[in-house]
Amino acid sequence: MLAHLNLKVRKWTVGTLAAFALAASGSAYSAPKTVLVVGDSLSAEYGLARGTGWVALLEQKLKAAKLDARIVNASISGDTTSGGRSRLPALLAQHKPNVVVLELGANDGLRGLPIASAEDNLRSMIALSQQNQAKVLLVGIRMPPNYGRAYTERFTGMYKALSTELKVPLVPYMLQGVDLVPANFQADRMHPLATAHPVILNNIWPQLAPLIKN
């Protein structure tokens, strides 16, 4: 009788442990992913009503698609790659993102800062994100033609080179299709109106979606 009771206890213990393990596994599987966006004014809703920029639209799109993801928008207007690089370690430690979207470089270019420095900053940010087990999406921008052909080509090539070198997906130009229409921009002719941000999201989504879904 005692031996039979001990056998039943052992079975119950094993079964209970298995149930707890399954529950823990299911909980981990269903945990929402965190997407960290580190960008500048193009992602920080500069000059826009809150909730109308492409990052806010992304959050709405994820909810509509029933994709369980939490968006952390750590973008700051005027930020450079140097600023992003200095902020990133704390952001990674705090939010532990599954995906990091890097949308930086425009202010480096507009200020005529050395492309080599911007490239080194972005490389460091990508590597640090990957070391923290996060997938990275690099979002590119272009410089106006008045900066000269040599500079603009080197600037655009920076993003492609980093994407190839570090094997991260790239959105070559986030303003594709937006910059062709002057009416898409605010009075400063640099920052898109809210009506253009769905186009920006459409440019980014095809490269970002697989990182969130997988």
Tell me: the pLDDT tens digits for 122-176? 999 999 999 999 999 999 999 999 999 999 999 999 999 999 999 999 999 999 9
- Annotation says 188 is catalytic: yes
> 21 and 76: one domain?
no
How many independent structural domains does the chain possess? 2
Instruction: Report the Cα 115 to chain-centroid distance in Å.
Output: 22
Average pLDDT over all residues of the chain: 90
> 2 and 101: one domain?
no
The residue assigned the tokens 């070198």 is 165
Distance between CA atoms of residues 193 and 173, nearest Å: 17
> 88 and 7: one domain?
no
Distance between CA atoms of residues 86 and 129, nearest Å: 13
At residue 33, the 3 state secondary structure works out as strand
> 25 and 43: one domain?
no
41, 43, 75, 129: the catalytic one is 41
Query: Residue 193: phi, psi to the nearest 5?
Result: -75, 165
Tell me: the pLDDT tens digits for 28-76? 455 799 999 999 999 999 999 999 999 999 999 999 999 999 999 999 9
Sheet holding 99-103, edge to edge: 69-73, 33-39, 99-103, 135-139, 170-171
108, 129, 163, 191: the catalytic one is 191
Q: So what's the pLDDT on residue 55?
A: 98
The vertex-191 CA angle with 190 and 195, nearest 5°, equals 130
Q: Please check the confidence at residue 4 and state whether its pLDDT lies above 80.
A: no
CATH of residue 68's domain is 3.40.50.1110
Q: Which domain holds residue 89?
A: 32-213
- Annotation says 4 is catalytic: no
- Annotation says 41 is catalytic: yes
